[in-house]
Amino acid sequence: ATKKIRDGNLDFTLDVDADDEIGQLCQDFEEMRIRLRENADEKIQDDKENKELISNISHDLKTPITAIKGYVEGIMDGVADTPEKMDRYIKTVYNKANDMNVLINELSLYSKIDSNIIPYNFEKININSYFKDCVDEIGADLEQRGMMFSYRNYCAANVMVTADPEQLKRVINNIINNACKYNNKAKGKVGITLTEYDRKVQVAIKDNGIGISKEDLPHIFRRTYRADMSRNSAGGSGLGLSICKKIIEEHGGEIWAESKLRAGTTIFFTLNKVIDQSKEK
């Protein structure tokens, strides 16, 4: 068994019947082999996903670059021969450059989060005050996008949670942006609901967009999820929900989704409440 592991072969089983010290040693050795096998499989999967991610980002960057090149060539060749055309061409180039910037920023952020080099500034925040500020901003933004917005809060006034305000805002914005991006309804809707439990606060962000199939639903928090969907013109690296998952897990919370095709999606996540130890005693 040691020679097999030395040679990189982890695909075997060490069967042991004895209950003595040698038997215990062999059992520990078998558990070590299983752990090494799992680590090796995880590394293979990570490497595969990294390659897919680079391929996806490269593909997505080509689209705006090709558009920018085409419009700039049009300007150079004199195709934009009126002030109106010139204005339209320049605005398109600017928007495509912004799309590229979003892709690069998401990739950079994911790399930092994945490498655990983003410092978290956890603090006690009042969930009601925090979300009141958030929904004021979100409501104005969604109104500009032509989306309807609703907010329900079932938490007591003094509920406190432990969170990094900046990173929590990133999670909310990522989910809201997805809700808008994948909504083809004439009247798009987004709703946020806060629910209080004994030790957690649950946040639910619901939309009435295109929804997600049962087959895809378990995979949406993977970094390469968008590659598994039919590629669409919505743009983005597909890293948004993967970033959300990492941030929420760093907060000690959970994140999951429920969805139905053509009916919409709800993303849930939890935050830990600040518990008054004196009251518990």
Q: How far apart are CA 60 and CA 36, in angstroms?
A: 36
HSE (side-chain half, CA atoms, 13 Å) at 146 = 7
pLDDT tens digits for 141-199? 898 888 999 999 999 999 999 999 999 999 999 999 889 888 888 889 999 999 999 99
Q: Which helix (H) or strand (E) holds 140?
A: helix 127-144
Q: How far apart are CA 258 and CA 267, in angstroms?
A: 7
So what's the pLDDT on residue 226?
57
pTM value? 0.71
91's tokens? 């605005």
Calculate the average pLDDT of the chain: 86
Average pLDDT over residues 255-276: 92
The label of the residue with tokens 């938490």 reads: 155
So what's the pLDDT on residue 93?
93
So what's the pLDDT on residue 277?
59
Average pLDDT over residues 108-134: 87
